[in-house]
Amino acid sequence: MSNRTVVVAGAGQAGSQAAASLRDEGFQGRIVLVGAERHAPYQRPPLSKGYLTGKVPPERLALRPPSFYDDINVELRLGTPVTSIDVDARSVGLGNGERLEYHDLVLALGARNRGLPIDGADLDGVLTLRSLADAEEVRRRLPAASSVVVIGGGFIGLEIAATAVGLGIATTVFEVAEQLMARVLSPGTASFLVEAHRRRGMRIDLGTSAATITGTHGQVRAVWTSDGRSVPADLVLVGIGAVPNTEVAAEAGLLVDNGIVTDPHLRTSDPHVWAIGDCASFPCAYADGRQMRLESVQNAVAQARAVAAALAGRAEYFRAVPWFWSDQADLKIQIAGLPTGRDTVIMYGEAEQERFSAFCFAGDRLLGVESVNRPADHLAARRLLELGIPLRPVDLTRPGFDLRALASGRSAAVAPAS
Amino acid sequence: MPKVTFIRPNGETTVVDGADGTSIMQTAVSAGITEVVAECGGTLACATCHVYVHDGPIDALPEASGDEEEMLDFTACPREPTSRLSCQLPLSPQTDGLVVRVPPEQY
Ligand SMILES: Cc1cc2nc3c(=O)[nH]c(=O)nc-3n(C[C@H](O)[C@H](O)[C@H](O)COP(=O)(O)OP(=O)(O)OC[C@H]3O[C@@H](n4cnc5c(N)ncnc54)[C@H](O)[C@@H]3O)c2cc1C
Ligand code: FES
């Protein structure tokens, strides 16, 4: 396989991992990693957290050291996007005019932030956060801001809002739904989060949509809600979700449906094209095989590793346990599995101490676990899901139940149902 | 510059000049020691930065927090008495000369 060429399109979390894992798998052919951004692959999670406060300096964002790609003989093409794919000729065209032939093409194009279609969204001071360039802008402006409005109560929005509150800035979050992250979080954990942030000084208006943004001399001044209230703002962050970057795939005739559609091996509708990370819609083993798109570091890394293994001839069904973390102020929120479709939620730990896990079940089947400041519960939950160790709602309420012992194999399996 | 020696899974040793205040995990990542995976970037969320503290001024390292202590039950390679999560281990002039062993698996 030494004369094969793999082109990886998108030099982010997934793309960079795919290149590295291909070498780990012993792939000896040519690898070209093409990225639209001019930066070498970097981590996004700190951008809405420690990077904004200076706790994480820019040089610590790089996923791998500068010499790494040379060292493992990966050709980097940065600052130039893949602009076309010819699946019949098996070649891609780049923004710089270059054409690259491939044996296999890995699409790791990520997602971009959804735009806010309201008046005033183009005013100076209305920002969004996805890339390092975006984050530089937010970081530059945040210290001078006296009032921040975050539109959208998703993970990234709440992280930015929590950072702003931590800097002593008056901060308001508008969330159109009556619950935070209703599609992802159980109601109990969501309302815990609202209260925990309010205790720390954040204003969160649920059931509230931003209707217009107004300003003077082109500079943002206030956000108006659809029920006619206004909140002053000299900085507005829009965080209303992301859309996958699929255009170049769709134009090439690949199947696209809220993401580039793949099979359980992460292969697209063309046998020599694969899709991973935020841009891929794959049949998820933890959602009974439903097609879905996950936006997380874990998903990007695990899918990259899976495709690298497949290209090295070790194809397996992709079935990594999904997990995610979000750090908001001193709250570490982690989700293991996919807790949607739950009918029972059992709280474990002390919510008053802001340390607990919410175990989500469908009947007697554990779907997923949401943890707040309980990282060991989170790891235990992942282990249970990974190994299929049974755990029922009733087990959790038994006196003396020891989660870590069960998950780490130090105690016998749960007592059989009597 | 506190030095750290990494004993890699293949037996190779790599000596890295670290910087005061940065963690052993960051030191490994920026030296391209990819066997320290560090999926969560050092936020104590993943346990993929597992190392065995092998030799040197071990007492200069802070004790494991309750969370780290519990998380060590879930490392991919077996926990040993010397197991630590390297994102929780800051370098200082006192840690100069540490030797850590990197396990072969982090997942
Ligand atoms: C602010 C922020 C905070 C986050 N925090 C967390 C967190 O705490 N925990 C967590 O698990 N996840 C978090 N995430 C999500 C996580 O970062 C993403 O899921 C992950 O980066 C996805 O990796 P990816 O490679 O699919 O996409 P990306 O890392 O976004 O990389 C895609 C790359 O492809 C490039 N690209 C796009 N089109 C083209 C083209 N045509 N040609 C070439 N290149 C192209 C893009 O410019 C980009 O650089 C966060 C994301 C953001 C934005
Ligand atoms: S890097 Fe994730 S726990 Fe250390």
Q: What is the pLDDT of residues A103-131, one digit of tens each?
A: 999 999 999 999 999 999 999 999 999 99
In the prediction, which pLDDT does A3 show?
85
Q: Inter-chain contact B34–A327, Cβ cutoff 8 Å?
A: no
**CATH of the domain spanning A115-240, picked from 3.50.50.60, 3.20.20.70, 3.20.20.150, 3.40.47.10:** 3.50.50.60
* Both tokens assigned to A179: 């619950």
- Closest-lying ligand to the alpha carbon of A327? 1
- CB contacts < 8 A, A to B, total 59
Average model confidence (pLDDT) across chain A: 95
Residue A287 carries which side chain, given as an amino acid letter? A
Residue A190 CB partners (closer than 8 Å, separation 6+): A179, A180, A181, A182
What's the CA gap between A140 and A63, in Å, rounded?
23
Residues of A in contact with B43 (CB under 8 A): 45, 325, 327, 332
Alpha-carbon distance B30 to nearest alpha carbon in chain A (angstroms): 5
In the prediction, which pLDDT does A415 show?
46
Q: Inter-chain contact A325–B40, Cβ cutoff 8 Å?
A: yes
What's the CA gap between A347 and A349, in Å, rounded?
7
Q: Taking phi first (over 0 means left), then psi (-120 to 50 degrees means alpha), and beta for anything else, what does residue A45 get? A: alpha
Q: Would you tell me the crossing angle of helices A155-166 and A187-199 to the nearest 10 degrees?
A: 20
Which class in CATH covers the domain with range A330-407? alpha beta
> In chain A, whose CA is at the least distance from the CA of B26?
A60
Q: Inter-chain contact A65–B32, Cβ cutoff 8 Å?
A: yes
The pick from A13, A17, A21, A94 for probing ligand 1's pocket by mutation, whose C-beta has the most ligand atoms within 8 angstroms, reads A13
State CA A373 to chain mean position distance: 19
Q: Is the pLDDT of residue A414 over 60?
A: no
Do the domains spanning A115-240 and A330-407 agree at the CATH topology level?
A: no
How much is the average pLDDT of A301-319? 95
Q: Which phi and psi (to 5°) does residue A65 adopt?
A: -65, 155
Indicate if ligand 2 lies below 6 Å from the C-beta of B87: yes
Q: Inter-chain contact A376–B30, Cβ cutoff 8 Å?
A: no
Q: Which atom of ligand 1 is nearest to the CA of A37?
A: 47
Q: What is the pLDDT of residues A328-360, one digit of tens each?
A: 999 999 999 998 889 999 999 999 999 999 999
Q: Is the pLDDT of residue A412 over 60?
A: no
* C-beta of residue A110 within 8 angstroms of C-beta of residue A249: no
Alpha-carbon distance A250 to nearest alpha carbon in chain B (angstroms): 31
Q: What is the pLDDT of residues A242-252, one digit of tens each?
A: 999 999 999 99
Q: Is the pLDDT of residue A417 over 60?
A: no
Indicate if ligand 2 lies below 6 Å from the C-beta of B25: yes
Residues A5-111+243-311, CATH architecture: 3-Layer(bba) Sandwich (3.50)
Residue B99 carries which side chain, given as an amino acid letter? V
Residue A58 carries which side chain, given as an amino acid letter? P
Q: Which domain holds residue B31?
A: 3-101
For residue B107, tell me if it sits in a domain.
Answer: no
Q: Are strands A365-372 and A260-261 parallel, antiparallel or unpaired?
A: unpaired
State CA A26 to chain mean position distance: 29
* Both tokens assigned to B4: 């750290």
What's the CA gap between A370 and A359, in Å, rounded?
7
What's the CA gap between A189 and A359, in Å, rounded?
10
Using a CB–CB cutoff of 8 Å, tell me whether B17 touches chain A. Answer: no
Q: How many domains does chain B have?
A: 1
> In chain B, whose CA is at the least distance from the CA of A14?
B39
* C-beta of residue A52 within 8 angstroms of C-beta of residue B17: no
DSSP per-residue codes, A61-123: -BSS-TTHHHHTTEEEEES--EEEEETTTTEEEETTS-EEE-SEEEE---EEEPP--SBTTTS
Angle at Cα B16 formed by Cα B14 and Cα B20, nearest 5°?
150
Residue A94 C-alpha to ligand 1 middle, in angstroms? 20
For chain A, the structural domain boundaries read 5-111+243-311, 115-240, 330-407
